Amino acid sequence: MNSTNRSNRMNSAHRMVSKKSTLVVVLMLTVSVTYAGGFKKLRPADEVPAFHDLILIGESLPRQYHAIETAAEGEPSQRIVIEVVGEGDAASDEVIVMIHGILSDRRTWRFMAADLGTDHLVMLVDLLGSGDSDKPKPKKLDADAYGPTEHARRVLRALRTFVSRPDGPARIVLVGHSLGGAVVLRMLGDEELVTDYADVVDRVDRAVLLAPMDFAIEKIHPKFLQVAKLGQFEVDLGAVLGVLRKKVARTTLESYYDPSFATREDAQRLLETLRHKKSRRPNKAGIKNAIPYNSKTKRPDWEAIERLVADYDNVQVPCLILWGERDETLPVAMGYKLKAQLPNARLRIIEKSMHSLQQERPRLSASLVRDFVKTSGNGWDPIGELDPDRFIGSELEVATAAPERVGGSEE
């Protein structure tokens, strides 16, 4: 290499580092000015009155941990972890399988699992690349390995190890949040998966979808695109300067209608996911593979998207869709669209709530899951709105107007 080429490359590298440094410093100054000390506003979960009792209940429930290999022969290890919580009987009661979304793991369900675990067995799934599951490099897997369809395939493989046992679950309720909701839709809608894993799918008799991602989405939310472009340089420098910690605190607090529900543990979990390359890479791949995308045109692959949407017709089990009225991640209009496209669905809009209902409204969400397990939505209005302020204990307060909002005729 001659001296001119070497000099040009060095100058190019210096310019790149300079641009990245400037970007991070500007971000640091912006966040520091607007949201200094955000972590101090976050309380430990056990100091949040709404969560304290649920934490105690959760600590009292029996738990088992299973690491299940889901890779095909010749592939890198793809063990996913499933935590089984609760007092229920798998042979006679519905087993509730809960699947988290992007930049998350099974801990997002801890409050709902505590509530539901008092009378059900609950299986909390760590998707590949998240929580305690394996985190193989995306480059070592197929291009769509961290997409919803392949996640669905691995969860079905893992559940097969349970249903094949004499004491395995006779009936299954699938619960998914955000990307996890899209995974559930693939588990029940993809004809190939339904055929290949009929022994599992045939036992699923209901599904509950918390703000599930619709495949017909023209663009990913900007906050996820920022993560998808995040490199090690920005992460390391942001961590050293404190900007990453402040940004995470701000994001966590802004994710709740009532910021007092935002917990330090949630922020710390997100911070750890972003800081460590091993966990950040799968989540970046998951964001990029969430919807079909044409890399040449830089636009959504609408033909592929429409094929996924057409599979909604195959989801024949009763579905309950829950959506936060003030969801800023996935618009509530998406809930109405999915309600219209799924053959047998009910929609409940939760007022004064945002995207992560399992964390913000765990008792209300658990109560709706429990009621739906009992009724399959029979007698419920197709669409209704719920005020969480009317929620007391483990059931909805029934006032004179309540039947019209919670149940009622199907006319």
Neighbours of 162 (CB within 10 A): 22
- Rounded CA separation 238/410 (Å): 53
CA gap 167, 114 in Å, rounded: 22
Within a domain: residue 234?
Answer: no
| Average pLDDT value for residue range 306-312 | 96
Distance CA 187, CA 205 (A): 13
Instruction: Say what the pLDDT of residue 16 is.
Output: 47
Whether the predicted pLDDT of 40 surpasses 60: yes
Q: In this structure, is residue 248 part of a structural domain?
A: no
Categorize the per-residue pLDDT at 194 as very low, low, confident or very high, splitting at 50, 70 and 90.
very high
Q: Of the given ranges (8-17, 70-79, 315-324), which has the lowest mean pLDDT?
A: 8-17
Q: Give me the mean pLDDT over the 344-360 stretch.
A: 96
pLDDT at position 394: 45
165 inside domain: yes
Residue 361 CB contacts under 8 Å (≥ 6 apart), including other chains: 324, 350, 353, 388, 391
Between 276 and 111, the more confident residue is 111
Does residue 62 form part of some domain? Answer: yes
For residues 129 and 11, give the distance between their C-alpha atoms in angstroms, rounded to a whole number: 37
- End-to-end CA, the chain: 78
372 part of a folded domain: yes
Angstrom CA distances, 108 to 184, 207, 327, stand at 17, 18, 17
Long-range contacts for 62-67 (Cβ within 8 Å, ≥24 apart)? 62/86, 62/87, 65/132, 66/158, 66/161, 67/132, 67/133
Q: Which domain holds residue 137?
A: 46-219+293-406
Instruction: Using a pLDDT cut of 70, give the percent of the chain over it.
Output: 80
CA distance 172 to 94: 5
State how far Cα 276 lies from the chain centre: 19
With a cut of 90, say whether residue 232 has pLDDT above it: no
Hey, what amino acid is at 401?
Answer: A
Q: What is the pLDDT of residues 66-77, one digit of tens each?
A: 999 999 888 888
Helix or strand run (H / E) with residue 31: helix 3-35
Look at residue 108 and tell me if it is in a domain: yes
Give the integer Cα–Cα distance in Å for 23 and 95: 48
The one-letter amino acid at 62: P
Confidence at residue 174, expressed as pLDDT on a 0 to 100 scale: 98
Q: Who wins on pLDDT, 338 or 92?
A: 338
Spatial contact of 76 and 141, defined as CB atoms under 8 Å apart:
yes
User: Of 59-68, 251-260, 286-295, which gets the smallest average pLDDT?
Assistant: 286-295
For residue 308, tell me if it sits in a domain.
yes
**260-278 pLDDT tens trace:** 999 999 999 988 888 888 8
Residue 405 pLDDT level (bands cut at 50, 70, 90): very low
What pLDDT score does 406 carry?
A: 42
Q: Please report which confidence band the pLDDT of residue 235 belongs to, taking 50, 70 and 90 as the band edges.
A: low
Residue-level pLDDT at 391: 72
In a domain, 274, yes or no: no
Task: Give the CB-side neighbour count of residue 320, counting CA atoms within 13 A.
Answer: 30
Is the pLDDT at 30 greater than 80? The verdict is no
Question: What's the rounded Cα separation, in Å, for the pair 403 and 380?
Answer: 9
The band of 312, judged by pLDDT with boundaries at 50, 70 and 90, is very high
Once rounded to an integer, what is the mean pLDDT over residues 280-303? 85
For residue 343, the domain's CATH number is 3.40.50.1820
Q: What is the dihedral of CA 219, 223, 227, 229, to 10 degrees?
A: 60
Q: How many domains does the chain have?
A: 1
Return the pLDDT at 81.
97
Banded model confidence at residue 227, pLDDT cuts 50, 70, 90: low
Point out the least confidently predicted range of 253-262, 391-400, 401-410: 401-410
- What pLDDT score was predicted for residue 408? 39
User: pLDDT tier at 225 (50, 70, 90 boundaries)?
Assistant: low
239 pLDDT above the threshold of 90: no
Give this prediction's pTM. 0.85
